[in-house]
Amino acid sequence: MHIEHVRNGFPLGSAMSKEILTNPAYQRWFTSRFTVTTFENEMKWYSTEAIPGQEDYSVPDAMVRFAKSHGIAVRGHNIFWDDPSTQMGWVKALSGEQLRRATAKRIKSVMSRYAGQVIAWDVVNENLHFDFFEGRFGWEASAAFYRKAHQMDAGALMSMNEFNTLEQPGDLTVVPGKYLRKLWQIKAFPGNGNAARMAIGLEGHFSAQPNIPYIRAALDTMSQANAPIWLTEIDVAPGPDQARHLEQILREVYAHPAVHGIILWTAWHPQGCYVMCLTDNNFKNLPAGDIVDKLIREWKTRSHVGVADADGYYETELFHGDYKVTVTHPAANSTVAQSLSVDKESDNEFTIHCVKEPEKPLYGGGILKDMKDTEAKASAGGKKLLSAKTKSAPVKGSVLKVELKKDHHYALSAWLQLSKGTGDIRAVLVTPDGKFNTAGVIVAQSGCWTMLKGGATSYAAGKGDLFFETNVTAEVMAEGMALQPFSFDEWNDHRTESIKKERTKKVKITVEGADGEALANAEVKLERVAKGFPLGNAMTKEILDKPEYEKWFTSRFQYATLENEMKWYSTEYHQNKEDYRVADKMVELAEKYNISLRGHNVFWDDQTAQMKWVSKLSVPQLKEAMAKRLKNVVTRYAGKVIHWDVVNENLHFNFFESKLGEDASAQIFRDVAKLDDKPILFMNEFNTIEQPNDPAPLPTKYLAKLKKIREYPGNADLKYGIGLESHFATPNIPYMRGSLDTLAQAKVPIWLTEVEVTKSNKQVEYLEEVMREGFAHPGVKGIVLWAAWHAKGCYVMCLTDNNFKNLPVGDAIDKLLHEWKAGHSGKTDSKGVLEAEIFHGEYSVTVKHHKLKDHCVQTVDFDSKAEAKIKAP
């Protein structure tokens, strides 16, 4: 067995200047070394809109294309810079309202352009040292920018980028404690609580001999935030010891477990670098460059040769990264080569559902079915494009030109595989308005076909582009591609048909008198009183002291989730001091009104959701504390909840797995089921249907994690459910439908567990679209809104004001509640029969007839039956 390291896993990069676009020598030198970059100045506001209203992204566009073509990840630097000296004169001259409009335009412009194409955003640069925007808008300005940035590109890290936190212990403005306080202030701002993508950016501009013990201690302090730390702009001032000091710094930060990446601030310019150069103008290394090259070689596993044991296993230690594994055997006449990716989070046993032969394209290929080879224009490199009829041609780097219609949803499907190894494949649909829409992402491998289902929406008519890209060094192969257009009306019609098929049934009611005589022309009224499709909302402890809140909630919802009150940090904030009183009272209230409860949650895998005492426990102590928590919460509410969110968000986070091993989640599922085997057990996760640009919770990865949990010893027969939180900004409805189709393959109930839409002038419209799409999908068995009322404001979305008068969003929900429980009125025919089509549920059936002294009322469960006989007294 021969193992060759082909790409480093730890991100090590350098800043890049626009000179790289026109200098082949610079290109060769840079791309042979670095896997990640930051544009030095080219993406900054003053570079893209030096004159108000005259935006120019041509240079950063070209740099992004260059980086992507060489597999180099890009950090977005920056959206705003808080330093007053970096603001254009026209920005400084704006009034408060004008500046609000200008900043809103800037964040929308730059982020919509590069969303999904950068791995991180420096949102407000250096906002501990400076306060230009806070000075104009108030202390909440930065936090509001972070919230908007997260909404625009939830898949990227949102970074606070600052200097001197590591470099200068004497700079009291940015000591680690103040940095963390600012970070927590941003995270505590309404709408930022789900700040899973926050990161710590430490510039690292060192001017003298580095204080290595201080660097280590500062990193230890910063790591308490449980957010990835990046060194974003490392340089060392010139001097005889520059190279030696650089090596000391790089080794120290590389060794720290909380540091996830390093960028050097060494963009090349012919007139000289900012502070530190790695190369001269002939691209011959300077001493600092030699140090960087030495470390790149050192942190890359040398070619490795070994022999498998008698069982065919071979174990070794490797640096994180991408590997080529070549296997030969004396009994075989051939050599097998396979790609392998090794990283911190992966157990390298990922299972992909794939088939040996792809199926025929859906919709007959849609608008792709009639494309001829001559219509498939070549992209850079002159490759012939893949049409729906072409046999297994590579499509990486190729672009299909498609004609798109205005105000149409496009459903995309394709059977994909890689020419070698395993990796992510992303489908991108570029609409005529220039927007890059991620239409779907899957994990694929070589040797078999995996189906991608997704789509995007075009709000403009004209030429568009469809292409595929991958995060590994392999060709993308495709067959059975289809791109089917639907006008908004056609899409809604399909949804209506699905609702009719999945949520309604035809029923037959026969009405007879006491003597068995058929009562013709009897007036029959059906009113749904219970059951039916589960639609609920989150609930807060304020409901216990607010009768008007209680009345408002219980008149609408038959299902609920306690927002925080059942979580571990709410019931045992201080070790061994458990307090379930609030949760108990809320459970009692739910029982009083016959409201079904979801148990949320047993454990939460997010590091930031752990109490300090939990984070400090040794492994044996943690196991003991977890066993106590699991037993106490599950046995206390056994028989009182219909679901358990067992390990919350365990695709994004891994607190318990990192402490107890990769099977921790599976073991927790098993232990919960032993104590309470009636409820459905959920993996509850965000961004699986909301954000195709977030690689962590892709539908294929969700299914693989669920499969791994199910295959753990003792877990095969547990009751599983798929929990999709559904925190939406701007929903991609075709992608949502395609993702639900993919997840439905697991054949377990899907619930949308925390539905909300961020505030905008289209919030109501977007919410209704999400609700109708979820309600129409046959795999979705229930929906819970994440709109718990708080006197100080809701998490993101409120249905009512503080007087419990509906807001527009609340009116939209009431409209759907009314629509989805609509009853029926009619008269029986000559045989005393009434036939109707109604929503599933339990109904009160009222009969009036002139032969009856009084009307007759009977309850009928039309969930379990389709016919009923009403015998009047």
C-alpha angle 799-801-806 in degrees, rounded to nearest 5: 50
CB 81 within 8 A of CB 125: yes
Please say whether the beta carbons of 733 and 457 come within 8 A.
Answer: yes
Dihedral sign, Cα of residue 365, residue 368, residue 369, residue 373: negative
Alpha-carbon distance 384 to 392, whole Å?
12
Nearest 5°: the CA angle 147, 150, 154 is 160
Q: Per 3-state DSSP, what percentage of the chain is helix, strand, and coil (rounded to 5)? A: 30, 30, 40
> Rounded to the nearest 5°, which phi and psi values hold at 216?
-65, -45
Residues 377 and 466: their CA atoms lie apart, in Å, by: 12
* CA 88 – CA 50 distance, rounded (Å): 7
Task: At 104, list the tokens.
Answer: 């809103």
Nearest-10 crossing angle of helices 242-255, 212-222: 30
Residue 313 CB neighbour total at 10 angstroms? 7
Select from 341, 350, 317 the least CA-distant residue to 651.
Answer: 350
Q: Taking the chain, what is the end-to-end CA distance rounded to the nearest angstrom? A: 85
Among 548, 556, 558, smallest CA distance to 801 is for 548
**Residue 225 CA: distances (Å) to CA of 179, 200, 221, 229:** 10, 9, 8, 10
**Angle (deg, nearest 10), helices 619-637 and 664-675:** 30
Angle, nearest 10°, between helix axes 733-743 and 699-710? 20
Q: Residue 170 contacts by C-beta under 8 Å, 6 or more apart in sequence?
A: none
List residues bridging with 7 in a β-sheet.
Answer: 322
**Which stretch of DSSP H or E encloses residue 530?**
strand 523-530
Nearest alpha carbon to residue 544 among 600, 587, 578, 577: 587
Amino acid at 295: L
- Torsional sign, CA 610, 614, 616, 622: negative
Instruction: Kindly state the tokens that stand for 275.
Output: 């502070």
Report the C-alpha gap between 319 and 498 in whole angstroms.
50
Burial class (CB in 10 A: 0-12, 13-18, 19+), 454: buried
Element (H, E) at 29: helix 24-31
Pairwise CA distance, residues 57 & 580, whole Å: 55
String of DSSP letters for 662-693: TTHHHHHHHHHHHH--SSEEEEEESSTTT-TT
The strand pairing partners of 524, in sequence order, are 826, 847
Pairing of strands 229-236, 198-202: parallel
Active site residues per annotation: 649, 754
Report the candidate in 304, 263, 321 with the shortest Cα–Cα distance to residue 7.
321
Query: DSSP letters along 78-106, please?
Result: EEEE--GGGS-HHHHT--HHHHHHHHHHH
Q: Crossing angle, helix 733-743 and helix 763-776, to 10 degrees? A: 30
Residue 251, phi then psi, degrees to nearest 5? -65, -40
